[in-house]
Structure 1
Amino acid sequence: MFVFGKLSFPRAAATATIILASQLVSCVSAFAEGRPKPAQGLPPAHAEIDTEHIFGFSMGSDIGKKGDIEVEFENVGAFGKRSGSYAAWANLNQVKYTVSDNFRIAPGFSLSGQHIKGVPGLADHRDIAFSGGALELRYKLVDRAVAPFGLTLHAQPGWSRIDDGSGMHIAQYGGEFAALFDSELIKDRLFAAFNVWYATGGTREIATNLWRHDSEMQLQSAISYVLTPDLVLGLGIRYARAYDGGALNRYVGDAVFAGPTFSYTISKDVGISGTWQMQVAGSAVGDSRSLNLEQFERHQALLRINLHF
Structure 2
Amino acid sequence: MTARFRLARRVSQAVAALLALAVFASLPARAKQDGASDKAGSSAGGKGDGQEGGKSDKQKDVDTEHLFGFTEGADAGEKGEQEVVVDTVTRLSKRRDGPGPSTYRVLDTRFAYQFNPIDRFSVELSAFGNLRRQRNIVDLDDKSFGTFDGVSVELKYQFLKGSAEQPLGLAIEVRPRFTRVLPIEGNGANIFDMESLLQLDVQVVPDKIWYGSNISFEPAAGRQRGSGEGYRSSTFLWSNAVVGRIAEKTFLGPEVRYLRGYDGIFLNRLESEALFIGPALHHRFTEKAWLTLAYGAQVWGRDTDPAYARRALGLNQFERHNLRVKFGMEF
TM-score of the aligned structures, taking structure 1 as reference length: 0.84
1:42 CA drift (Å)? 8.0
Q: Is the 8 A contact 1:189 1:226 kept in 2?
A: yes
1:43 CA drift (Å)? 8.0
Moved over 6 A (4+): none
Query: In structure 1, what residue type is equivalent to 2:88?
Result: N
Describe the shift of the 1:148–1:268 C-alpha distance in structure 2 as closer, same or farther (beyond 3 A): closer
Equivalent-residue separation in structure 1 for 2:224 and 2:299 (angstroms): 32
Report the aligned-residue RMSD. Answer: 1.8
Q: Does 1:59 align with 2:72?
A: yes
Q: Is the 8 A contact 2:78 2:121 kept in 1?
A: no
Partner of 1:235: 254
Residues 146-225 of structure 1 aligned to structure 2 (within 5 Å): 147-225=166-244
Q: Is the 8 A contact 2:216 2:238 kept in 1?
A: yes
1:103 CA drift (Å)? 0.8
Q: Determine which structure has more spread, i.e. the larger CA radius of gyration.
A: 2
Describe the shift of the 1:204–1:268 C-alpha distance in structure 2 as closer, same or farther (beyond 3 A): same
1:234 CA drift (Å)? 0.9
Partner of 1:140: 158
Q: Deviations over 1:8-54 (max 9, x none)?
A: xxxxxxxxxxxxxxxxxxxxxxxxxxxxxxxxx98845422111111
Q: Does 1:91 align with 2:113?
A: no
Q: Deviations over 1:130-181 (max 9, x none)?
A: 0100000000112223634111001000101122333211000111011000
Unaligned runs of 5+ in 1: 4-40
TM-score of the aligned structures, taking structure 2 as reference length: 0.79
Equivalent-residue separation in structure 1 for 2:273 and 2:58 (angstroms): 38
Q: Is the 8 A contact 1:114 1:164 kept in 2?
A: no
Greater relative contact order, per chain length (Cα 8 Å cut-off, separation 6+): 1
1:293 CA drift (Å)? 1.2
Q: Does 1:303 align with 2:325?
A: yes
Query: In structure 2, what residue type is equivalent to 1:72?
Result: V
Unaligned runs of 5+ in 2: 1-5, 11-53, 97-101
Q: Deviations over 1:202-257 (max 9, x none)?
A: 03111310112110101110000011111110111000011111011111120000
Partner of 1:111: 129
Q: Does 1:294 align with 2:316?
A: yes
Q: Is the 8 A contact 1:45 1:187 kept in 2?
A: no
